[in-house]
Amino acid sequence: MRRILIIADDLSGAADCGMACASAGLSASVVLGDAAGTLDVNVLSVDGDTRRLPPREAANETAKLLRRYRNEEQLVFKKLDSTLRGNIGSELAAVLEAQRNFHSPSERIIAILAPAFPANGRITLRGRQYVNDRPLEETEIWQRDERRSDSQISAMLQSAKLTSALLDLDAVRSPDSLPETMSKLAEQSDVLICDAETGEDLRAIADAAAALGPGTVWAGSAGLAYHLPTAIGMGRASRTISPQQLAAGPTLFAVGTVSRTSREQARLLASAPNVTSITIPPDDLLAGNHSLKWQEHEHLLSNVLENGGDVVALLGMETEAKIDVTQSRLLAEALARMIVPHSQKIGALVVTGGETARCVMQACGIAALRLVAEVEPGLPFAVAENWSRPLPILTKAGDFGTPQTLLHCLEFLRNLDRNPEAAPQQGRKV
């Protein structure tokens, strides 16, 4: 089976990029690292969990995963964060090196890089990224990431010893000459950086890049991935999941990000009927499950779920607070440990933040997701693959969406036609 292989650096990115391809009618699954067995799908999206790692470690893990899942006929897509967080240069360099080793030395292998995601306000102009018309350096997203230095994409690539050339908007919007321009620039560059303001720009990039050869590495966000299947002629009828196969029961929202966007979404969600919000301060999480505060939060969580209510478990941190990579991981792991004893009580899971989603799924023993549909751009609906129950799961990048996004998730899940026999066993009302 010809397959698209996506290598991402976090779980929410792996899911939204995989869903972008699945929206063209392809079967798609997301897997955690190298834990998956054989999955018969058109699109395999792998979460490498490398965003938090130092560049060299991230590169080694990325190359290892490409070797683990690669087959002869598949196309390789390196998923990048649309706000350029993570190890952009080192991971792309690792994919390019591995891809070149798989092909003949006479074959010119380059990467097409288009990180724009216009549907979520991310565009690329003159080789720089903008979020909602603001330069990346001026955004909350960028300022939270203390590892960042220069947002010029070519500088990120240069730090990994990759040469690059820019295809500006004029070039992208010249469809008759774009394929030839790409071909000429590819002769002397490792990476072609593409400006894009609209979905049509990304479509033009995908159509032109399809002529560069099967070894080409595609790199970008879900914005580019939406146009990939059509560009390579791979769309077909999708596999469907009967609604009666889905588990029923209350929904648990795990908001483990400090993103202002997600926290505003959580505040609106808490005002919805039959939704209880539990704010958990970082110190209470880090104190461990033997502490009185931890036990109080967990007891409330358990009672609400047993009574059939939906719950928002919100990391209680001010939006201005800065946390380093290590503390962020510890908090995500602690929140996951608080949730996992109640995983059999829930009928759906919504997680914001790729790191939190990874930790929660890992703690629950969920190694793969089957992608089904899209609630909003960049917000996929999936089902736990090969788990104890067919649990509906929605994952969202922390900074994606409008203020109403989590409310839309709640409405979507409450409107699903699900199987009461697959509901978790309800406990005694307290």
CA dihedral 198, 199, 204, 208 (to 10 degrees): 120
The lowest-confidence range among 16-25, 28-37, 175-184, 312-321 is 312-321
Taking the C-alpha atoms of residue 274 and residue 281, their distance in angstroms, rounded to an integer, is 23
Rounded Cα gap, residues 306 and 298, in angstroms = 12
Mean pLDDT of 224-236: 89
Q: How confident is the model at residue 47 (pLDDT cuts 50, 70, 90)?
A: very high
Residue 430 has pLDDT above 50, yes or no: no
Confidence label for 242 from pLDDT (cuts 50, 70 and 90): very low
Average pLDDT over residues 80-96: 94
Q: Distance between CA 161 and CA 94 in Å, rounded? A: 11
Q: What is the mean pLDDT of residues 60-82?
A: 91
pTM of the entire predicted model: 0.90
DSSP state letters, 283-300? HHHHT-TTSHHHHHHHHH
- Band (418; pLDDT cuts 50, 70, 90): confident
- Strand 134-135: give its sheet, edge to edge: 122-125, 128-131, 134-135
Q: Strand 111-114 to strand 217-220: parallel, antiparallel, or no bridges (unpaired)?
A: parallel
Residue type (1 letter), 186: A
User: Which tokens is 118 given?
Assistant: 């216009």
User: Does pLDDT of 425 surpass 50?
Assistant: no
In the predicted model, what is the mean pLDDT of residues 258-285? 92
For 300-339, the pLDDT digits (tens) are: 999 999 999 999 999 887 544 556 666 888 999 999 999 9
CA 30 to chain CA centroid, Å, is: 10
- Cα separation of 369 and 98, whole Å? 26
For 243-422, the fitting CATH number among 3.40.980.20, 3.40.30.10, 3.40.630.10, 3.90.700.10 is 3.40.980.20
Map 69-95 to HEC letters: HCCCCCEEEEECCCCCCCCHHHHHHHH
- Where are the CATH 3.40.980.20 domain residues in the chain? 243-422
Domain with CATH 3.40.50.10840 in the chain: 4-231
**140-169 pLDDT, tens digit each:** 777 766 656 667 899 999 999 999 999 999
Better-scored residue on pLDDT, 37 or 62: 62
> Do 165 and 192 contact (CB within 8 A), yes or no?
yes
Share of the chain above pLDDT 90, in %: 72
CATH number 3.40.50.10840 is the correct assignment for the domain at 4-231: yes
Which 8-state DSSP code applies to residue 341?
G
Kindly give, in sequence order, each residue whose CB lies less than 8 Å from that of residue 10, ignoring residues fewer than 6 positions away. Answer: 47, 49, 51, 81, 86, 354, 355, 357, 358
- Beta carbons within 8 Å of 404's beta carbon, 6+ residues apart: 265, 268
**Per-position DSSP letters for 30-58, written without gaps between them:** EEETT-------SEEEEE---TTS-HHHH
Residues 363-375 have a mean pLDDT of: 93
Mean pLDDT, all residues of the chain:
89
Q: Which two tokens stand for residue 28?
A: 């798609």
